[in-house]
């Protein structure tokens, strides 16, 4: 641990990451103490860090790297699996090192011994990295852009407070409860985008008390109610482009495809929307649409059709300043999934909306948090029944519902694999009394024993936020890793 007189080592961090660590150190020190000495990498400009620090910048002084000696060693290389094949999901911050699964620098089996199982574990560094990658792709395509993290994906107060402290993004909320929640985590109204459905009078009354929130009514009824409550307000409008897609083209994840859905105003009724806005003196300054959830590279042609449909409507709203393209960007769930090509995605957006004087907002949920999280579990039993070898975990589908509801699997991964004992083919199940409670069927893994820890990957999004207490099995620890 660093003493107060030791420089704070921020080598290897990006400017936003360094700012987060510095703020934490400054907050822990008494006001009026000597400036905090900080060491940065040569590529991490002090000016950028100071800008991110805002009011805390005066409490920092930057010192040469020589004050700390050699830079810390890089992360250990990933262990090869038997035969040299790496798991499809392995990457520098999710890997086997010395035969043990690590998320970032954290040994997840050791973590499970400390916090117990089941436990949701989320890497703050991976979330920030995902946000930075998305922002860089949009900037490189010439897009003036804004990122609003979709809170419904993971509403962990620790995560939200961290994102606010890091000034990493704004937030997207869809209910009065989420609006109150993000405010309690430090987000000001102007950092919040609100796009809800089936809004009640209570919802409208709350929105009327928050004039700084960017509200995008998704129905004529909500637009009229908002105008009645706060005439003259600038608003957005959620439209339905009549084209959409989702993970693997699954209709359950398609929010604006051919069948009529409850989301957004269709083009044939936009004239009525304009009339309602005019009646209440409102200006429609944003156009919002959201096509679906979890789409990857293979679904980009459908995504582009939705972009074309939305772009064709721009001229109908002369006061537009922003186009909000929603979220839905996905991550691979299986070895067969082809990742989303972000440059191709951003270029498609730029071809429709760049150079028009419009800001482009995006509301990622899964893309920021899903692959940043694990659900840590423990094997309760291993037992053969007829011709099936079952491995029962202490976590059921109520803790991560997407695999059952939407066919988006959370692959089971051994925390400390016994590669030298060979593999078995398991049906991995949970502890809820429902036939649906199956994590994986016909799944090959290193041999398991009771007491082993198994990580369910891709559990950072729509897992903790959708969990239920079915069978009173909803208890789980919640850990945010800040490294």
The enclosing domain of 242 has a CATH number of 3.20.20.10
Q: Are residues 424 and 451 in the same domain?
A: yes
Q: Are residues 233 and 173 in the same domain?
A: yes
Q: In DSSP terms, which residues pair with 102 in a beta bridge?
A: 95, 107
* Whether 317 contacts 311, CB under 8 Å: no
In a domain, 188, yes or no: yes
Residue where a domain terminates, one of 370, 392, 427: 370
Pairing of strands 283-288, 322-324: parallel
The domain of 435 spans 82-122+372-481
Task: Write out pLDDT tens, residues 174-202.
Answer: 999 999 999 999 999 999 999 999 999 99
Show Cβ contacts of residue 177 under 8 Å, excluding neighbours closer than 6 positions.
none
DSSP 134-159: HHHHHHHTT--EEEEEEGGG---HHH
ω into 28 cis (within 30 of 0): no
Task: Please give the model's pTM, rounded to 2 decimal places.
Answer: 0.83
Helix or strand (DSSP H, E) at 347: helix 342-353
State whether 139 and 285 are in the same domain. yes
pLDDT at 321: 97
Residue 401 forms part of a structural domain: yes
The answer on 141 and 44 residing in a single domain is: no
| Total domains, the chain | 3
Q: Which residues contact 376 (CB under 8 A, 6 or more apart)?
A: 108, 111, 112, 117, 118, 119, 120, 121, 415, 453, 454, 455, 456
**Between the CA atoms of 208, 211, 213 and 214, what dihedral angle is there, to the nearest 10 degrees?**
90
Same domain, 430 and 347: no
The CATH number that applies at residue 97 is 2.40.37.10
| Structural tokens at position 389 | 């070898």
- Pick the closest to residue 142 from 364, 358, 362, 365 (CA basis): 358
Residue 399 and residue 343 share a domain: no
Considering the domain architecture, whether residues 306 and 177 belong to the same structural domain is answered as: yes
Q: Which segments of the chain have a pLDDT < 70?
A: 1-6, 12-14, 16-17, 19-21, 23-33, 43, 52, 54-55, 66-84, 248, 250, 253-254
Residue 354: predicted pLDDT: 94
Is 288 contained in some domain?
Answer: yes
**296 and 187 within one domain:** yes
Where is the domain boundary, 44, 67, 90? 67
- Residue 294, CA distances (Å) to 204, 337, 373 in order: 30, 11, 16
Instruction: Establish if 2 belongs to a structural domain.
Output: no
- Residue 73 covered by a domain: no
- Residues 268 and 348 placed together within one structural domain of the fold: yes
Average pLDDT, the chain: 89
Question: 434 with 299, same domain?
Answer: no
Are 206 and 258 part of one and the same domain? Answer: yes
Which of 337, 370, 403 is the endpoint of a domain? 370
CA distance 451 to 378: 6
Residue 245, in any domain of the structure? yes
Q: Domain check: are 316 and 463 in the same one?
A: no
Judge whether 277 lies within some domain.
Answer: yes
62 falls within a domain: yes
* Residue 173, φ and ψ in degrees, nearest 5: -125, 160
């Amino acid at each position: 641990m660093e003493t107060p007189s030791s420089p704070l080592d921020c080598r290897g961090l990006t400017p936003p990451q360094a700012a987060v660590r510095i703020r934490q150190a400054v907050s822990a020190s008494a006001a009026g103490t000597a400036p905090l000495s900080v060491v940065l990498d040569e590529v991490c400009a002090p000016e950028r860090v100071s800008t991110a620090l805002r009011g805390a910048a005066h409490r920092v002084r930057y010192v040469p790297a020589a004050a700390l000696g050699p830079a810390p060693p890089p992360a250990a290389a990933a262990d090869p699996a038997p035969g040299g094949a790496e798991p499809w999901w392995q990457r520098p911050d999710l890997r086997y090192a010395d035969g043990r699964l690590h998320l970032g620098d954290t040994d997840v089996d050791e973590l499970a011994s400390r916090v117990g199982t089941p436990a949701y574990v989320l890497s703050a560094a991976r979330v920030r990295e995902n946000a930075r990658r998305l922002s860089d792709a949009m900037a490189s395509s010439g897009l003036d852009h804004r990122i609003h993290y979709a809170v419904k994906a993971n509403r962990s107060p620790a995560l939200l407070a961290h994102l606010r402290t890091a000034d990493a993004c704004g937030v997207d909320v869809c209910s009065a409860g989420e609006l109150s929640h993000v405010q309690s985590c430090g987000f000001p109204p102007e950092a919040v985008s609100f796009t809800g459905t089936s809004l009640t009078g209570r919802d409208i009354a709350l929105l009327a008390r928050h004039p700084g929130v960017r509200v995008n009514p998704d129905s004529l009824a909500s637009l009229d109610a908002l105008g009645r409550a706060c005439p003259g307000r600038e608003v957005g409008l959620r439209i339905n482009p009549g084209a959409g897609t989702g993970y693997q083209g699954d209709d359950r994840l398609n929010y604006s495809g051919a069948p009529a859905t409850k989301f957004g105003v269709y083009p044939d009724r936009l004239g009525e929307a304009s009339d309602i806005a005019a009646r209440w003196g409102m200006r429609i300054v944003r156009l919002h649409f959201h096509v679906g959830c979890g789409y990857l590279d293979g679904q980009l042609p459908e995504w582009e059709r939705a972009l074309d449909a939305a772009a064709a409507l721009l001229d109908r709203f002369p006061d537009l300043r922003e186009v909000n393209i929603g979220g839905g960007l996905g991550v691979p769930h299986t070895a067969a999934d082809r990742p989303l090509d972000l440059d191709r995605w951003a270029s498609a957006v730029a071809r429709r909306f760049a150079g028009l004087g419009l800001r482009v907002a995006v509301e990622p949920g899964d893309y920021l948090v899903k692959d940043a999280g694990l659900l840590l579990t423990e094997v309760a039993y291993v037992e053969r029944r007829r011709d099936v070898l079952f491995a029962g975990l202490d976590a059921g589908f109520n803790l991560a519902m997407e695999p059952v509801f939407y066919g988006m699997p959370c692959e089971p991964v051994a925390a400390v694999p016994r590669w030298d004992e060979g593999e078995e083919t398991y049906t991995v199940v949970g502890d809820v009394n429902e036939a649906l409670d199956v994590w994986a069927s016909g799944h090959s893994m290193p041999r398991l024993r009771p007491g082993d820890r198994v990580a369910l990957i891709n559990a950072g999004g729509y897992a903790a936020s959708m969990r239920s207490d079915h069978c009173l099995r909803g208890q789980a620890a919640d850990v945010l890793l800040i490294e």
